[in-house]
Amino acid sequence: MTTKYGIRFAVRDTRPGTCAWGNAMFDAIRGSYPNITAENAGDDFEFFTQLPKEYRQFLSVSNGGFVDEFRYTFLTGVPFRTEFVDTPSRDDCPVEFFGIPVSEPADESPADLLQEMVDHEVEYFLPKGVIAIARCSQNSLVCISLREADRGCIYYWDWYWRYEWCKPFFDERIQQALDPYPDYRAILNDPAHPQYDKLMDDINYATLMPLAPNFLKWFESCTDKRDDDEE
Q: Is the pLDDT of residue 4 over 70?
A: no
Average pLDDT, rounded, for the chain: 89
Q: Is the pLDDT of residue 199 over 90?
A: yes
CB-based contacts of 20, cutoff 8 Å, min separation 6? 57
> Is 220 strand, coil or helix?
helix
Is pTM, for the whole model, over 0.85? yes
Looking at residue 26, what is its pLDDT? 83
pLDDT digits (tens, 9 = 90+) for 98-130: 999 998 777 789 999 999 999 999 998 999 999
Q: Is the pLDDT of residue 147 over 70?
A: yes
Q: Are 59 and 99 in contact (CB under 8 A)?
A: yes
Q: Please tell me the total number of residues recorded for the chain in this structure.
A: 231
Spatial distance between the Cα atoms of 210 and 153, rounded to a whole number of angstroms: 7
| Cβ burial 131-169 (10 Å sphere, 16+ → b, else e) | bbbbbbeeebbbbbbbbeebbbbbbbbbebbeeeebeeb
Q: Is the pLDDT of residue 1 over 60?
A: no
Stated as kind and residue range, the H or E segment containing 197 is helix 196-206
Looking at residue 103, what is its pLDDT? 82
Least confident of 9-13, 122-126, 183-187, 222-226: 9-13
Phi, psi of 156 (to 5 degrees): -120, 125
Q: Are 166 and 78 in contact (CB under 8 A)?
A: yes
Stated as kind and residue range, the H or E segment containing 92 is strand 91-92
CB-based contacts of 163, cutoff 8 Å, min separation 6? none
Nearest to residue 121, comparing CAs of 186, 178, 185, 197?
A: 197
pLDDT digits (tens, 9 = 90+) for 8-52: 444 344 344 444 455 567 889 999 999 999 999 999 999 999 999
> Is 46 strand, coil or helix?
helix
State mean pLDDT over 55-82.
Answer: 95
State mean pLDDT over 175-191.
Answer: 98
If pLDDT is split at 50, 70 and 90, which confidence band does 229 have? Answer: low
Q: Is the pLDDT of residue 211 over 70?
A: yes
